[in-house]
């Protein structure tokens, strides 16, 4: 999906208490491109999450579930699935350390 600077993400409450969704909307025509269901608005949509793609500009499918990663990481930082950022030089070291701890 190609939405650099032409989309916005906003929380929308549902009528059902405690339910809502994050919506990725076009800034030009306000159409919804993707939706992330959530229970609370503080469950921010950063990291790797399963979004329902509703209007896909790349034409790989509409109304399908896709993993999208939203990040605030800077250049030379790696985005973890959780959305945390780590120095890119530490990625291989961490994989080796995690592997050794699990075995």
The string of pLDDT tens digits covering residues 78-89 is 888 888 888 888
- The model's confidence at residue 6, banded by pLDDT at 50, 70 and 90, is confident
Domain range list for the chain: 1-70, 75-103
- The model's confidence at residue 94, banded by pLDDT at 50, 70 and 90, is low
Mean confidence (pLDDT) of the chain: 77
Q: Does the pTM exceed 0.85?
A: no
Tokens 């530490």, located at residue: 90
Beta bridge partners of 86: 78
In Å, the largest CA–CA distance within the chain is 52
């Amino acid at each position: 999906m190609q939405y650099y600077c032409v989309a916005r993400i906003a929380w929308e409450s549902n009528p059902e208490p405690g339910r809502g969704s994050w919506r990725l909307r076009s800034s030009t025509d306000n159409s919804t491109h993707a939706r992330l269901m959530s229970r609370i608005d503080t469950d921010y949509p950063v990291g790797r999450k399963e979004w329902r793609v509703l209007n896909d500009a790349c034409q790989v499918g509409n109304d399908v579930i896709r993993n999208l990663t939203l990040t605030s990481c800077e250049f030379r930082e790696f985005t973890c699935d959780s959305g945390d950022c780590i120095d890119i030089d530490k990625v291989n070291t961490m994989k080796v350390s995690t592997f050794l701890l699990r075995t």
